[in-house]
Structure 1
């Protein structure tokens, strides 16, 4: 099982291809299987590196008490250093997109792309209400149990990223059908740390002026308005490319793999 020590964790990763390095980051509660097969056509031009992020998949639990998006970005930088990948391109889905943005502002990659990503700052009144989510968990946790509150919020999250009402559940199920259950499930404590990292993303500060790498921001046709709004904001603020993925929801690379691979190839060929 290929692992490498990076930033205090034995990180599981898979790599294929030869050429400029491209890191492919999965979303919250997922793992590298979401990218492993779907992005394989890019290996004819690029060295693809597909890690399981801290707490996920075959990387598994770590002894850190708390996680954050900034910590995940540090992990990506450390993994790149450990694999002798200088200024790789970083492509991230959902949480991986958050990480790609923070990484771009702090570590100057060769390029970066987000799929279903968001920026930390609220861009609407509704998003400001959402920023109080950690306080909601803290308030209701002692009354009905923190795990029960977080479980309910995860159900909401599973549906909230797709206007068709499908969320990412069906797409993830298709991945599991192909690969079975050979990856360890996330523990309750790791899930707590992950939930806190996602909820506290609102506290992260991104210096957009420090981002010099070319960028591309993609979202599925059926993403909810919030995700579309954030993709447009990033593309405008960073002078990046903006692409809409037809007939796709939040897990767009599963819904429309050929389009996603083609869009990423077009972007990477021009950026690297």
Structure 2
């Protein structure tokens, strides 16, 4: 049996773990062949005091995909997209999705609609409409955080009933699976997954660490892609995703507490401990258990 193949289109950093650097290693550990296209290539993520690098444009993306097509290298089981910084590039992604689904009608498109967090957008406003009208209808699985969910549906999400409605609105547009990587509902940090196949909504409450991490959403999307493929049970897929993710974040926080170098940038101190978490990714713990919402 051939290995599942993923084309991952998102950001790349030379140093650190966000975007493709966050996604590739876990996917490979879990048995996936991973091809990457970097929407941007930066020295490090933008949380550092300085970052430098290049941004691919829509023609760059077209050229790379054309090369894959002409060499018959364009058969993928999955497409994963993350951070994209320009409207023209995102428009070209629409064409890539269509082209790859022509080659493999069973391709699973996992869209992480990276637009912002904590009430702040960090991509141009014009991307919102492209996601709403062109990208989301093509996606099989979508993994927004709660703020991105609000952007996509155009409504605030503060309660379970508002969350249900927002998720159902997304289902009506296209995705069969909606996974909310994190939402603070009733004072608790929670992940949610909803599917149209069995009409279930699953929740998993997680502990909230006192610091924030860059790249954790990218890691969530990659792990969730893997475990929805490896598991027939969506509840187990969410549990495996969150348990691996939380183990990575716990290791990162533990290391953060031991770093005594006051001159080190905070961003460097909280880079994900991805390599050190190899065993946690390969064999997720059972620390967190999901439950089905009534």
Higher share in helix: 1
Greater C-alpha Rg: 2
Higher-strand-fraction structure: 2
Structures share a fold, TM > 0.5? no
TM-score by length of 2: 0.42
